[in-house]
Structure 1
Amino acid sequence: MKRFFLIAGEPSGDALGAALMEGLRQLHPDVQFTGVGGPLMAEQGLVSLFPMDELSVMGIAEVLPRYRALMRRINQCAETVLREKPDALITIDSPDFSLRVARRVKAASDIHTVHYVAPTVWAWRPKRAEKLVGVIDQVLALFPFEPPYLQRHGLRCDFVGHPVVTAPRASRDEAAAFRKRHGIGAHTPLALALPGSRQGEVARLTPIFGDALGVARGQHPDLQIVLPAAGAVAALVTDLTANWPHKPIILNPQGLPAAVAQAEKRAAFAAADVALAASGTVSLELAASATPMVIAYRMNPISFRIIRSMALIDTVTLVNIVTDTRVVPEFLGPDCQPGQIGRALSELLTDSKARAAQIAAAHLTMERLGQGAEPPGLRAARAVLDGLSP
C-alpha cells in the first residue's frame, strides 16, 4: 500500500492534486492520502488537515497579518508528515508555503519530496531552481521545455502535460447555439473581452479594453462583444462597462450551477472570432478553442520596469513560448494603449494569414502540452511512482 501527503494552496493546485490522486488510485487502488486540499481533492478521498482557503493569500499586505498563523500551519504540516512517514510528500504549487514545509521535512528525514509545477526559472529569477536543491527530489513540469532548466541543477524533472489538454471543449453546435441564444448572427463578428479575474487588474484593464474595442468597432461596426466575468469581479465588470458605447454581453456566473457557467464560458470561447485578453493562462484556454487573440496588460510602471529588466524572454504569452513563435501580438506596460490594441484586433478580424498562423500555433501548443497522450494526472502519477524506485 502506498501513502502520500499532499499540499495544495489554491484552486488550480486543488485541480492538479485531484487529477494526480485519481491517477495514483488507478495505479494503486489501495492508496491512502492525507494533507491539505480543496473540494476536488476531497472528492478523491482527502480529509484536509485544515481549510485550504487559509493558504490562499497573496502579497505582503495580505501575508503579514497572518504570518504567525501560516507559520503554525507550516509546522503542523511538517510535523504530521514526519509522524506519518508517507512514501512521499507532494507539494503542489504555492511555493512560499509548500517549500517551507518540504525544507523542514527534508532536514529531519529522507522522505521523498515532489513539487508539482516547476518554477518559471525560464522566464525570470533563474536562481529559484537552486533553492530546490536538497529540498525537492523530483519536480513535475507542465511545459515540455522546463525539465532542462531543473536538470542542470541535478534535479529530476518530469514533463507530465498540462491540464488544459483534458479540459472539456464546446462543439460547433454548442457555439452556434450560444450565438443564437444571445442574438448574435452566425456571420456577425464576435470578440471576447477578458480583462482578468482579480479586482486590481480588472479595474486597470477594463477601461483600456473598452476603448480598444471601440477602435475595432470603428472598422467593424457590427462587431459584438462578450465578456465572460469571474464571479468575484462580476459586479465590478458591470459597473466599469456601464458607460461603454457598445454594450457587451456579460456572462455572470453568479447564481448559476458551476457546470452551467463553465459550459456557457466554453461556448463563448468557441463562438468567438477573436479575443482581447489579459496576460495569463487564459491564452491556453483560448488556444484550446483555437480562438485567435491579442494579449494586453498594464501594471504599476515601476513594477513593470523591474520585471522587464529581470526577464529572460521577450514574450509573456504561453502560446508564443510553447511554439517558439511570436504569432500572438502583445501590448504590455507602456504599449498597452487602446489605439494600437484596437488596430491589432481589427487586423486580426480581416487578415486570414494571421488568423491561420494563430490557429496553427494553437493546435501545436495543445500537441506539445500533451494532447492525445495519457491524461496529465495519470502521467504525473506514473512519474511519482517511478521516482520512488531505487
Structure 2
Amino acid sequence: MLFQKREALDKHLFIIAGEESGDQHASALLKEIKQLSPNLIVSGLGGKHLEAQGMQNILDLTQLAITGITGVLTHLKAIRQAFKITQAYLLKHRPDAVILVDYPGFNLRMAKWIKKNIGCPVIYYISPQIWAWKAKRIEIIKQNVDHMAVILPFEKAIYEQAKVSVSYVGHPLRESLLNLPSKEACREQFSWSADETILAILPGSRKAEIARHMPVMIKSLKILKTQARFQNLKLVIPVAKSLSQNDFLPYLKEIPELELIDGQAQNVVQAADAVVVSSGTASLECAILAKPSCIIYKSSWLNYYLATRWMKVKYLGLSNLLLNQMVIPELLQVDCNPKELSKMLQALLEESDWRMSMINRLNDLKSMLLPADGPKLAQTTLHFFKYS
C-alpha cells in the first residue's frame, strides 16, 4: 500500500500556523500524524494548541494574528523579525517536510523562500480563499507548493483545473462538531440550568477585534437589558487561547454579569440559545451547530475599502457563501452599531418563523461538508517524507 504506518526515527516536520483557528486545526492534524509516527521530530510556529501536542514552538505566531493592510503596517517590524527567526531556524535544522496552515500573507511568502532555499516538500493545509479574492495567488501556490489539502469540496476542482496536486481532506470542524455532547449535557457541564436563556458572545480571537467589537457589543447588551424579558439573560464569553481574561476586564466593569470561560467555545455555543460572533471560523462553527446567530465585523476604514474593492463574493460569512443565501445576518462596518445589533439580538432570542427558518437552513450545512474523499492528511504528510 502507498500509505502505511512507518516509523520516522529521525525525520523532522515543521509546521506554521498563524492564528487561533489554524493552531487548533494543526494540533488535531499533528495528533493524528504522531499516532502514525510517534518518534517524529516536530517544530514550528504556532500557539498553545500545537504546543499541547508536543510541537517545539520557536515563536508564538498566534500573537501576531493580524488582518488587513493596516494590521500589516502596524506589525511590519514584528513580521520581518518572525521571518528572520524562521529562516535562520530552517537553514540550521533543514526539516524533511513543511506544513503551512492557512495564514496566506505570511505562509505564501514563506513557501516561496522554502522552495528556493530548503527544497523540502511543502504541504498547504486550508487553502487561501482564492475564490473570494486575490485569485492570482494560485500561481504562487502552483510554483511553490507540492500539495494542497483543501477543506471545502468545491475548492478541489479549482486546483485540479490549475493542475495543482490537491486532495479534499474534509472540514476539520465536521467531526468535532458532529460529535459534541448535547445542548443539555453542555449546560450541565457549566452548571447552567435548562430553563436559562443564554447568549454566547464570540468577539474574535485577536486583540484588535476585541477592541473594535466589544464596545459595540456592550452598548447593544445594555440596550437589550432595558427590556424586562431580558433582565435575566445569561451572557457568556468563551475566551480564545490567543487571549486572556484580562483582555476583557474593562468590559466587566460595564456589565459585571458577563461570564468568562477559558476556551471551550464549541461547548458554550452548543449550550447557548443564540450567538453573536465575529466573522471567521467561529461563525462557521455556529452555523454547523445550527445556532441562531448574527455575524459582526468592524475593521479600519482603509481595510474595509480595500476589501470591498477586492472581494468577488456577495457575503462575508462562509456559511452564507456555502448556502448562497444570507441565512445568518451580517452586520458589517457602519451597520455594526448598538442600535442595529440590539434589534438583531432581540430577534435571535425570540421564537419566530424567521428564527426557525434559519435553524432549518443551517441544518443543510451538515450534509454539504462531506467527509474526505481519499487518504487522511496525516497519511499524505508521511508519504511526502523521503524515507531511507
TM-score tier, shorter chain, comes to 0.7 to 0.9
Distance (Å, rounded) in 2 between the aligned partners of 1:54 and 1:221: 40
The match for 1:73 among 72, 82, 86 is 86
Given that 2:278 and 2:296 are in contact with CA atoms closer than 8 Å, whether structure 1 keeps it comes out as: yes
Structure 2 partner of 1:257: none
TM-score by length of 1: 0.79
TM-score by length of 2: 0.79
Check if 1:202 corresponds to 2:210: yes
Deviation at 1:51?
A: 1.8
Give the counterpart letter for 1:315 in structure 2.
Y
Given that 1:193 and 1:225 are in contact with CA atoms closer than 8 Å, whether structure 2 keeps it comes out as: no
Distance (Å, rounded) in 2 between the aligned partners of 1:119 and 1:149: 12
Give the counterpart letter for 2:86 in structure 1.
R
Structure 1, unaligned stretches of length 5 or more? 254-260
The match for 2:26 among 17, 22, 29 is 17
Structure 1, residues 274-311: CA drift from partner, whole Å, max 9, x if none?
A: 11122221112323433210112222223212211211
Distance (Å, rounded) in 1 between the aligned partners of 2:79 and 2:312: 33
Secondary structure of the 1:126 match is coil
The match for 1:226 among 223, 231, 235 is 235
The 3 A distance-change label for structure 1 pair 102 and 33 is: farther
Identity rate, percent:
23
Distance (Å, rounded) in 1 between the aligned partners of 2:135 and 2:173: 25
Distance (Å, rounded) in 2 between the aligned partners of 1:109 and 1:37: 17
The match for 1:171 among 157, 182, 188 is 182
Structure 2 partner of 1:52: 59
Structure 1, residues 223-258: CA drift from partner, whole Å, max 9, x if none?
A: 5031314263533423224234xx5432243xxxxx
The 3 A distance-change label for structure 1 pair 359 and 91 is: same
Distance (Å, rounded) in 2 between the aligned partners of 1:32 and 1:163: 22
Secondary structure of the 1:122 match is coil
Greater displacement, 278-287 / 309-318 = 278-287
Structure 1, residues 54-86: CA drift from partner, whole Å, max 9, x if none?
A: 6852433334156256324224315633xx6x3
Structure 1, residues 351-375: CA drift from partner, whole Å, max 9, x if none?
A: 53323333234333233334xx469
The 3 A distance-change label for structure 1 pair 252 and 347 is: closer
Check if 1:301 corresponds to 2:285: no
The match for 1:149 among 146, 154, 158 is 158
Check if 1:242 corresponds to 2:253: yes
Structure 1, residues 82-107: CA drift from partner, whole Å, max 9, x if none?
A: xx6x3x43222344444444324433
Secondary structure of the 1:326 match is coil
Check if 1:62 corresponds to 2:62: no
Structure 2, unaligned stretches of length 5 or more? 1-5, 67-71
Distance (Å, rounded) in 2 between the aligned partners of 1:96 and 1:292: 32
May I ask how many residue pairs the two structures share in their alignment? 365
Give the counterpart letter for 2:116 in structure 1.
A
The 3 A distance-change label for structure 1 pair 285 and 30 is: closer
Distance (Å, rounded) in 2 between the aligned partners of 1:67 and 1:331: 34
Given that 1:20 and 1:380 are in contact with CA atoms closer than 8 Å, whether structure 2 keeps it comes out as: yes
Deviation at 1:137?
A: 1.9
Structure 2 partner of 1:363: 363
The 3 A distance-change label for structure 1 pair 96 and 207 is: closer
Structure 1 stretches of 4+ with a deviation exceeding 6 A read 386-389
